[in-house]
């Protein structure tokens, strides 16, 4: 019943703000315009179409606001008036009453706000879909930003997610390509992301991890978290001062090079993805400031993504192959990863990828429509039964944000030339001589700890009764059954360990 009521509200809000006009603009449904106007003769619409769309998304709640935030970065796909209005969703969502914010703080701390903070500004400085931010001062004088969760927000999210799950089931049932796209898995991941955002202690941990990754970095500044004042519904962090990255004229006026920060944004993204495997996954302009020293300042850490070593290696190989126009390697990487069927006709797959990607090279960012490129790649994946990987959905979303941000900062940015040296260096460190040496350094201490045990194991094997097999000894040593190992393997490991330890000793 609740799902039905929520669905009715979505339809009601859509009609109230005239969103049906966006749908009726399509050629295939033009014939319905007259009928809809006749049935809705009583409706009076005020404001532009962009303003009405923004207000409708605000009325529908956090999931729809986040959808609008992502759309606002795609100015190559949206009309200018709609993109400008949706940009207001990034940090200007209507706030909830200050009295509710103070009530939340007093519930969390168990005492009046005046006894927790030396100063607390009841007027919010920023309001987003899930929480809002107030400035305050700690008893020791440090200036902080206090993020407070919206009251009753979880109930709204649960209802919307239930509708999305129903929609995902319909997609899988009614659309031939539905199962390949794995909509249920994607919605499940979206569910986890949203519920993670509802726990501000988790967000504080994300901020702390990102700060540690970029401590003393010339690229990015992350605010310090003050853990003694944090809870599930409240996060307190260092107050940061900077210019919103969307205010390009103000950034230029402080002496910062716009092309420089455009390139810095690309480097920050690739550093997070390939060096750390941990990345800020909500990098829309409302979450980024530029400091007086031209460094990025990151805000809002509710959504982060992680990548396994397998994912990083796959992505790096694909990026490098794309940048080098080695489309056969791209096709091979998809098959090797198991994301494309093993019986895929690699020559045809290579040719299809070339047809999509070749036209976009040697062009500045302003002349490339990644929306169209992604659409053509999507169509190509349909032809070759490529599976959509849910674990990379966040990365795809972040790439769209990065592209939209780069387009606003410097339309002439050459994304390929900016990213290629970084990827080549990373691949060299992972797969080249440096990677080998780092692997030896990492593993040698563990092998050195195991080394003294090998003579005892070898002696036991030579002296035990015949019925006692080496499998039993290795099982006791390793803690698990490894019946495929034999004495020759033990001797080989011993020799390899001695050699590796000697290399480590020389390098150290």
Q: Of 442, 456, 440, whose CA–CA distance to 494 is shortest?
A: 456
Residue of 91, 160, 282, 311 marked catalytic:
282
CA distance 188 to 231: 25
CA distance 246 to 89: 13
**487 CB neighbour count, 10 Å cutoff:** 13
How far from the centroid of its chain's Cα atoms is residue 222's Cα?
A: 17
Known catalytic membership, residue 282:
yes
Query: What is the DSSP-derived secondary structure letter of residue 264?
Result: H
CA distance 450 to 478: 10
Residue written as token pair 């590796």: 500
Give the CA angle between residues 266, 288, 146 to the nearest 5°. 145
Contact 53, 85 (CB under 8 A): yes
CA distance 195 to 395: 18
Walk across the sheet containing 288-290 and list its strands: 220-221, 296-298, 288-290, 243-244
Residue written as token pair 């935030």: 69
Whole-angstrom CA distances from 499 to 180, 440, 448, 451 are: 48, 10, 11, 11
CA distance 321 to 354: 11
The two tokens of residue 75 are 């100015």
Positions marked active-site: 282
């Amino acid at each position: 019943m609740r799902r039905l009521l929520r669905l009715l509200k979505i339809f009601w809000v859509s009609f109230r703000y005239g969103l049906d006009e966006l749908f009726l603009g399509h050629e295939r449904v033009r014939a319905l315009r007259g009928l809809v106007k006749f049935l809705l003769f009583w409706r009076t619409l005020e404001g532009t179409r962009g303003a009405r769309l923004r207000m409708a998304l605000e009325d529908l709640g956090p999931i729809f606001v986040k959808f609008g935030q992502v759309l606002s970065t795609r100015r190559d796909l949206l009309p200018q008036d709609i993109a400008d209005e949706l940009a207001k969703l990034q940090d200007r969502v209507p706030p909830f009453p200050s009295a509710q914010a103070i009530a939340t703080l007093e519930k969390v701390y168990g005492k009046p706000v005046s006894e927790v903070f030396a100063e607390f500004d009841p007027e919010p400085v920023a309001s987003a879909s899930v929480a809002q931010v107030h400035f305050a001062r700690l008893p020791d004088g440090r200036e902080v930003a206090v993020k407070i969760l919206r009251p009753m927000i979880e109930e709204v999210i649960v209802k919307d997610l239930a509708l999305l799950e129903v929609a995902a089931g319909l997609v899988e049932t009614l659309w031939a390509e539905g199962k390949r796209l794995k909509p249920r898995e994607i919605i499940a991941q979206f569910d986890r992301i949203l519920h993670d955002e509802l726990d501000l202690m988790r967000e504080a941990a994300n901020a702390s991890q990102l700060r540690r990754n970029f401590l003393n970095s010339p690229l990015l500044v992350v605010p310090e978290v003050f853990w003694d004042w944090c809870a599930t519904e409240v996060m307190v962090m260092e107050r940061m001062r900077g210019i919103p990255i969307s205010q390009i004229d103000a950034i230029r006026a402080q002496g910062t090079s716009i092309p420089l920060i455009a390139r810095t944004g690309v480097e920050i993204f690739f550093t997070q993805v390939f060096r750390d495997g941990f990345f800020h996954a909500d990098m829309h302009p409302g979450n980024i400031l530029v400091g007086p020293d031209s460094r990025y300042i990151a805000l809002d850490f509710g959504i982060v993504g992680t990548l396994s070593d397998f994912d990083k290696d796959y992505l790096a190989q694909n990026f490098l192959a794309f940048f080098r126009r080695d489309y056969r390697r791209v096709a091979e990487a998809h098959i090797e990863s198991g994301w494309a069927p093993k019986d895929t006709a690699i020559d045809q797959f290579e040719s299809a990828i070339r047809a999509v990607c070749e036209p976009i090279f040697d062009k500045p960012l302003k002349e490339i429509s990644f929306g169209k490129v992604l659409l053509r790649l999507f169509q190509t994946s349909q032809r070759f039964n490529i599976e959509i990987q849910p674990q990379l959905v966040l990365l795809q979303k972040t790439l769209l944000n990065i592209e939209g941000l780069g387009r606003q900062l410097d339309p002439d940015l050459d994304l390929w030339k900016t990213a290629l040296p970084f990827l080549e260096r990373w691949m060299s460190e992972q797969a080249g001589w440096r990677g080998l040496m780092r692997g030896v350094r990492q593993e040698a201490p563990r092998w050195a700890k195991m080394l003294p045990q090998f003579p005892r194991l070898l002696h036991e094997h030579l002296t035990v009764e015949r019925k006692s097999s080496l499998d039993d000894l290795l099982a006791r040593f390793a803690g698990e059954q490894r019946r495929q190992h034999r004495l020759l393997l033990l001797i080989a490991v011993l020799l390899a360990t001695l050699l590796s330890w000697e290399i480590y000793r020389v390098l150290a």
